[in-house]
């Protein structure tokens, strides 16, 4: 297993690459990795993701929700509570990624009333943990957006209890969260989901 510093360097590199795809405009989006059973490294708030480095990860206790020795004036992402909630409900989850893209923003709005967006029949579903065939169905929950992150985290925890195989969720007019046992798994799922959301959007536009 690579050491933590090396792991965060690689993660920061991925974050810059995703930014180059246009997936994190205007300092938005956030990322984390579990670096010990009760400790995560999470992206600092307000950093331009084209310049994101391993120095921009802050350490926070998962049970406590407290930053470990943060530099003065530095805060973790405004959506930190969503990361904490996910690590707390799933001991298998070790990395979480969150993007704001055109496709995830538009489609999450469109499917809010339905409560989920269904992805079915795509070869790339095999990039999702536990999916072995394109003849699969992945329902991605859609939550209403809010600035009350604790309320959204509670809503997620409730839904996760009834859908423990959940691999991702959307927030309406806002973005996508997905996660994995490793950063690489979360990366693979993120890239597959963003591709599939673009497919869904373009198919709708063709009709
Ligand atoms: Zn966000």
pLDDT digits (tens, 9 = 90+) for 154-201: 999 999 999 999 999 999 999 999 999 999 999 999 999 999 999 999
Q: Residue 1: is its pLDDT beyond 80?
A: no
The dihedral through the CA atoms of 76, 81, 16, 175 has a sign that is negative
Rounded percentage of the chain residues whose pLDDT exceeds 90: 90
What are the backbone angles phi and psi of residue 143, rounded to the nearest 5°?
-105, 150
pLDDT of residue 82: 98
C-alpha of residue 133 to centroid of ligand 1, in Å: 31
Residues 200 and 117 sit within 8 Å (Cβ to Cβ): yes
Question: What pLDDT band is residue 135 in, cutting at 50, 70 and 90?
Answer: confident
**pLDDT score recorded for residue 151:** 97
- Please state, in angstroms and rounded to a whole number, the distance separating the CA atoms of residues 138 and 173: 20
Q: Which two tokens stand for residue 82?
A: 């969503």
- For the chain, the DSSP string reads ---HHHHHHHHHHHHHHHHHTT-SGGG--EEEEEEETTEEEEEBTT--GGG--GGGEEEEETTT--BSSPPTT--B-TTHHHHHHHHHH-TT--EEEEE--HHHHHHHHHTTTTSEEEEES-GGGGGSTT---SS-EEEEEEE---S-HHHHHHHHHHHHHH-TT--EEEETTTEEEEEESSHHHHHHHHHHHHHHHHHHHHHHHH-
- Verdict on whether the full-model pTM lies above 0.75: yes
Distance 177 CA to ligand 1 centre (A): 9
pLDDT at 134: 87
Compute the distance from residue 81 Cα to the ligand 1 centre, in Å.
12
User: CA angle at residue 76 from 72 to 82, to 5 degrees?
Assistant: 155
pLDDT at position 125 is 96
Banded model confidence at residue 58, pLDDT cuts 50, 70, 90: very high
Q: pLDDT confidence of 2, banded at 50, 70, 90?
A: low
- As a whole-number percent, the residues of the chain with pLDDT over 70 amount to 99
What's the 41 CA to ligand 1 centre distance in angstroms? 17
Average pLDDT over the chain reads 95
Alpha carbon of 135 to ligand 1 centroid (Å): 31
Q: How far is the CA of 124 from the centre of ligand 1 (A)?
A: 24
- Dihedral angle over CA of 71, 75, 76, 79, nearest 10: 170
201, two tokens:
């959007």
pLDDT band at 88 (very low <50, low <70, confident <90, very high): very high
């Amino acid at each position: 297993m690579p050491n933590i510093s090396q792991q965060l360097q690689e993660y920061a590199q991925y974050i810059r690459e995703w930014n180059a795809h246009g997936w994190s405009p205007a300092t938005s989006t956030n990322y984390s990795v579990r670096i010990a059973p009760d400790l995560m490294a999470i992206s600092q708030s307000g950093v331009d993701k084209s310049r994101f480095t391993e120095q921009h990860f802050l350490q926070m206790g998962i049970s406590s929700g407290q930053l470990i020795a943060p530099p003065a004036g530095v805060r973790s992402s405004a959506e930190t509570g969503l990361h904490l909630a996910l690590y707390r409900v799933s001991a298998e989850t070790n990395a979480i990624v969150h993007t704001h893209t055109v496709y995830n923003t538009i489609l999450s709005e469109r499917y809010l009333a339905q409560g989920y967006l269904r992805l079915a029949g795509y070869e790339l579903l095999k990039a999702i943990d536990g999916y072995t065939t394109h003849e699969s169905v992945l329902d991605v929950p859609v939550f209403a957006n809010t600035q009350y992150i604790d309320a959204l985290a509670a809503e997620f925890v409730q839904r996760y209890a009834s859908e423990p195989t959940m691999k991702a969720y959307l927030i309406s007019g806002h973005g996508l969260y997905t996660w994995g046992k490793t950063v690489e798994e979360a990366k693979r799922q993120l890239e597959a989901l963003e591709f599939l959301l673009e497919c869904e959007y373009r198919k709708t536009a063709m009709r």
